[in-house]
Amino acid sequence: MTLFLKYRPQKIDDLDSEDIRNRLKTIFSSSYIPHAFLFAGPKGTGKTSTARIIAKILNCEKKDPNPCTKCLACKAIAEGRFLDVVEIDAASNRGIDEIRDLREKIKFLPVLGKVKVYIIDEVHMLTTEAFNALLKTLEEPPSHATFILATTEPDKLPETIRSRCSIFTFRKATPEELVHSLNRVVKGEDVTVSKEVVELIARSSDGSFRDGTKLLEQAISEDALTIEGVTKLIGRDIKSARHLLELILAKNTTEGLKEMSRLVEKGTSMRYLIEDILESLHTILLIQHGVLERSDLAKLSQTVSTPDVLSLIRLFGRAFVDQKTTSFPYLPVEVAIVEWCEEK
């Protein structure tokens, strides 16, 4: 079993997102439980895990905002074998026939539990006809049924569907939330890893709990739980990014392009390269305005003006966007280097 599945949150208290955790505690401590939830947010932010936790709460033998995780219902839901929890992947079951089948079966009382829970993942992929059929069920749901709709693209859902759900917005995890999540895995696996390595993995996970845990698992399996090991795994090279920035600030076009060729050859991620350059520029900006006093960039901050820092931030911000859509991700970075260094 992968570490992400092994350490998937099993109850509300396990959720690393404080906002989601607090909202759910409030809802399930009240007398009114919504019949339909809409979970919207990026991949890997805990939507499906949270949906299963709600399914446990609704069917747990213990009446408490937190499921006991030990009763037959909780264990069966965690193992994906509870008959009254139905998970539908709308990406592959997007037609009206599937929703009509759901509407027919939802009439019957739960087989084992107290509440039938329907979890529809990537719900935005349903066809218009399927949405219309689903709407009729959401408008008049049986008292023994609860819907949990999950999507990465909430704007594609009809407003009629959205208006009948309690909406939860799952944002990308903060570095602090990711560190908290990763430390649970580190403790559970009883591995030795420094605080700096955990923080590096968190910063490199793009706000995704799943991606962070996968990267940690890869580092464990390859015995790469060091700064050098993790940066190699993800194609990140913070020292080289800093050196490249120094060449850019010195307006050394030739050496800057040579350094880029070296980084491309060794497989450096352009996404992380630009992120590291922008992070350094951000730090320089804060130093220049007295927000930060001590930093290894203090000396470099004295070699560039604030207007130039702002111009570079805009330039590499544009390069970050462009590298996502080009066949040659390094090209926008090289263009930014030449544009800056040869600016009159």
- Token digits for 13? 């208290």
pLDDT tens column, 103-129: 888 888 998 899 999 999 999 998 888
Chain-centroid distance, C-alpha 132? 30
**DSSP secondary structure letter of residue 69:** S
Architecture of domain 175-234: Orthogonal Bundle (1.10)
Fill in the amino acid letter for 124: H
| pLDDT tens-place values along the chain, 344 residues long | 789 889 999 999 999 888 999 999 999 988 888 999 999 999 999 999 999 999 999 999 887 778 998 999 999 999 989 999 999 988 887 777 778 888 888 888 998 899 999 999 999 998 888 898 889 888 888 899 999 999 999 999 999 999 999 999 999 999 899 999 999 999 999 999 999 999 999 988 888 999 999 999 999 999 999 988 998 888 787 888 999 999 999 999 999 999 999 999 988 889 989 999 999 999 999 999 989 877 788 889 999 999 999 999 999 999 999 998 999 999 999 999 999 998 75
Alpha-carbon distance of 114 to 105, in angstroms, equals 16
- The pLDDT score that the predictor gives to residue 293 is 76
First to last CA, the chain: 58
Q: What is the DSSP string of 188-239?
A: HHT----HHHHHHHHHTSTT-HHHHHHHHHHHHHTT--SHHHHHHHHT--HH
Alpha-carbon distance of 312 to 104, in angstroms, equals 59
Q: For 238-341, which CATH class?
A: mainly alpha
Alpha-carbon distance of 105 to 182, in angstroms, equals 40
Rama region for 69: left / alpha / beta (φ>0; ψ in -120 to 50; rest):
left
Alpha-carbon distance of 81 to 83, in angstroms, equals 6
- The pLDDT score that the predictor gives to residue 31 is 84
Report domain extents, the chain. 3-169, 175-234, 238-341
110: number of Cβ within 10 Å: 17
- The pLDDT score that the predictor gives to residue 344 is 59
Question: What CATH number does the domain located at 3-169 have?
Answer: 3.40.50.300
Backbone torsions φ then ψ of 263, nearest 5 degrees:
-70, -40
235: number of Cβ within 10 Å: 16
Nearest to 316 by CA among 280, 274, 286: 274
- The pLDDT score that the predictor gives to residue 92 is 80
- The pLDDT score that the predictor gives to residue 116 is 94
Cβ density class 306-336: b for 16+ within 10 Å, e for less = eeebeebbebbeebbebbeeeeebbbbbbeb
Question: Is-contact 178 211, C-beta < 8 A?
Answer: no
Question: Is-contact 3 189, C-beta < 8 A?
Answer: yes
- The side-by-side arrangement of strands in the sheet containing 166-169 is 85-89, 116-121, 145-151, 36-40, 166-169
Backbone torsions φ then ψ of 61, nearest 5 degrees:
-70, -25
Backbone torsions φ then ψ of 18, nearest 5 degrees:
-65, -40
Question: Is-contact 119 146, C-beta < 8 A?
Answer: no
- The pLDDT score that the predictor gives to residue 194 is 93
* 3-state SS, residue 88: strand
245: number of Cβ within 10 Å: 22
pLDDT tens column, 22-65: 999 999 988 888 999 999 999 999 999 999 999 999 999 887 77
